[in-house]
Amino acid sequence: MSDHDHSARRQASGRRFPVAGIAVAAGLLAVASSARAEEQPTGVAPANDPIEGFNRGAFKLGMGLDKVLLAPIAHGYIAITPKPVRDRVSSAVYNLGEPNTVINQVLQGKPKRAMRATTRFVVNSTVGVLGLFDVAAKMNLPRRDSDFGQTFGYYGAGPGAYIYVPLMGPLNVRDGIGRALDIATDPVGAVAGGVGTDFGKARLGVTILDVRASADPAFHALKDSSDPYVTVRSAYGQYREAFIRQATGEAEDLPDFDAPPPDASAPAATSNP
């Protein structure tokens, strides 16, 4: 496997947001996770892409919409917002998705991991100031993502056909159904209100902005591919396969390379009781 493939997997592992409550943001990150991979290497099973002509058109449309709509906004955000501030925003967005990880780890029969994810959410939401600081990571409670697509794969469901949806990004049948369930069962959304509420609208906007800004280097790298469509399709399939192998125990957890670095100004986890 090429260095580009490994880079794509590292980025996807560290920066994926489990159920931020918006399919658009999840799709942007799926594209970004694929951007540094090369075309499908020899020995990898052929892609299950029965509607490739449609998908290529959808991919072209999606990239065009990003160029004229999302990219300019993200570039402006990057230009005026210091990286330490952007890192805090990323941590808060990730934290809001943690309860969905808990749900899926319970469904996969992993109570210890579910408890650790619950502890992460409680600690970061309180001591970590609404998730702005990843205090739990300093307590040896690293991020471990999970979603319904992974849960289906854990129980043996195959990926099904590949499809590309503009702004939502690459999907397969299994992960598409899983993503819909992720959104429908999002505990934070159920408690705080969906997209129709002020909180939901703010969450939607901030999540899309944060994910697109974080993914900007990968979008630039995608331009260097000889066939960006194949690059995204291949890397998405490889990433999701590896993600499911983590759940089944066939592969180790991918390191969280892209997590925001510890901030010296973060509240200490060992403060006086």
Q: Are 39 and 233 in contact (CB under 8 A)?
A: no
Residue 229 CA to residue 106 CA, distance in Å, equals: 35
* Count of CB atoms situated within 10 Å of the CB of 251: 13
Q: pTM of the predicted model, to two decimals?
A: 0.76
Please name which of 259, 260, 257, 251 lies closest in space to residue 1, comparing C-alpha atoms.
251
Beta bridge partners of 164: 170
Q: Are 113 and 152 in contact (CB under 8 A)?
A: no
Q: Are 127 and 135 in contact (CB under 8 A)?
A: yes
pLDDT computed for residue 200 by the predictor = 86
pLDDT computed for residue 250 by the predictor = 78
Beta bridge partners of 163: 171
pLDDT computed for residue 10 by the predictor = 40
Sign of the four-CA dihedral 6, 9, 13, 14: positive
181, amino acid identity: L
Tens of pLDDT, residues 114-165: 999 999 999 999 999 999 999 999 999 999 999 999 999 999 999 999 999 9
Tens of pLDDT, residues 221-259: 888 889 999 999 998 999 999 999 999 887 655 444 343
Report, as an integer, the average pLDDT of 210-221. 89
Residue 19 CA to residue 100 CA, distance in Å, equals: 6
Tens of pLDDT, residues 159-203: 999 999 988 889 999 999 999 999 899 999 888 877 788 888 899
Q: Are 12 and 33 in contact (CB under 8 A)?
A: yes
Beta bridge partners of 171: 163
